[in-house]
Amino acid sequence: MKLNNKYIIGCHVMFYEIDMVEEYLNSVHLALQDIDNKENVKVEMMWNMSQYFEQSNSMQSIYAKIEKLERKYDFVSLFYDNDDKPYTMADYRRELNNQCNECDYVIWGESDCLMPRQMFGVLEQLKEYANSQGVNRYITTFGIRKMWDDSWRVLEHPEFTDKPYYDMDTEEDKKKAESSPWSIRYTMSQREMDEVNSKTKELDVKMINYPKFDGSGLVISSDLLRTGANIPPAVYMNGDDSSFLESCRLHMGDRYAQFVINNILKVHNRNHPKKRRYIQGEDDKLNTHFKRATKNWYKEFNNVSKGNLNKLYRSQEPFAKKQYKEESK
C-alpha cells in the first residue's frame, strides 16, 4: 500500500522501560510491513536517560540494549540525559505536537502500547472521507479494553464492552484483573491483539462531538494541532492527555470532531511486568501497578500537576510550581 499522507509517531521511553519497549516497536514495524513508501512515516524514540527522579543500577547495559534495537528497527533516536532537570512524557509530547507542520498526522506512541497492524490503512481511508465531509481538524481513537466507568463505553471494543471491570483493590479482583484479556491490567500480546482484530471485516466508525481519549496511541490531525491546541506548560506529569483534551475542547468548541474506530483494538498494557526494571533500590516484589505510587517524588510532582490541571482555564488562581532539587536545598 502506498501512503498519500505523512505521519510522525513519537514515543517517550524512560530508561527503566527498556525491556518492555520492543513490543511497541515491533507493533509499529508490523503496521509498516505492507507500506511501500515507508519514508512517509517518521518513527521517533525519545530515550530519557535522566536519573533526576530515580537512579539506575545498570545504565551501561541499557545503552547497549538501545543500540541493539537501533540495529533491528528503523527509527530516529533522541536522548535526554540531564540529571539536574526533569523531563517528562508531557514535555516530550508537547514538543512532538509542534512537529505538526511536517506531517498530516501526529501519533502519540507509548512504551506499553501496541499499535494495530491496520492503523495506516484505516487512517488513509479516514482522512479521505473526513476531508470530503469538510472535517479537517479531528482526533482518531482505536478501540480500547474495558475501562472503570461508563463514560469510556463509547471507546470500548465491542468484544469487551459488556465484560466486568476489575480494579486492584482486593487480592481476588487483582487476580481477575491480571488474568482476564478484556481487563486493562492484563498484559496482552501482539498475537492476542491480532486475533481480536482479524475478526473485523467492516470498520465500525463513529464520530463524536466531544473529546474522550487517553494518550496511548492517540492520533491527531495536524490541522487540529495548528490551531495551537497542545499540552499546557503548567501540566508536566500525569494529566498530559486530560489537559490536551481540554485544550482541544477550548480550541474547537462545538466544531470538535473525533472519529472512533471501535472494532480495531489498540492495546495499552498499563500493568506490564517489564515496565520498571534496573531501578536502584526498587522493591521488585511489588506489582507494577503499585511500584511508582510508593515514590515520594512521584506523589509530589503528580499532585502539583493534577492541581494545575484543575485550574487551567477560566480561572485567576495561580499555578503551583514544580520545585527542582537545586531549588529545595
Cα–Cα distance for residue pair 96/9, rounded to 1 Å: 9
Identity of the amino acid at 209:
N
How crowded is residue 170: how many other Cβ atoms within 10 Å of its Cβ?
A: 11
Q: Write the pLDDT tens digit of every residue in 173-209.
A: 999 999 999 999 999 999 999 999 999 999 999 999 9
Percent of the chain whose pLDDT exceeds 90: 84
**Alpha-carbon distance values, 85 to 52, 80, 95, 324 (Å):** 6, 10, 17, 7
Element (H, E) at 89: helix 89-97
Rounded average pLDDT over 143-149 = 97
**Alpha-carbon distance values, 216 to 61, 93, 142, 280, 284 (Å):** 27, 11, 10, 27, 25
What's the pLDDT band for 284 if we cut at 50, 70, 90?
low
Chain centre to alpha carbon of residue 287: 21
Burial class (CB in 10 A: 0-12, 13-18, 19+), 185: buried
Q: Which CATH architecture has domain 7-327?
A: Alpha-Beta Complex (3.90)
C-alpha cell at 247: 485544550
Cα–Cα distance for residue pair 38/280, rounded to 1 Å: 39
Q: What is the mean pLDDT of the chain?
A: 93
Q: Write the pLDDT tens digit of every residue in 211-259.
A: 999 999 999 999 999 999 999 999 987 889 999 999 999 999 999 999 9
Q: Choose the weakest-confidence range: 101-110, 161-170, 302-311.
A: 302-311
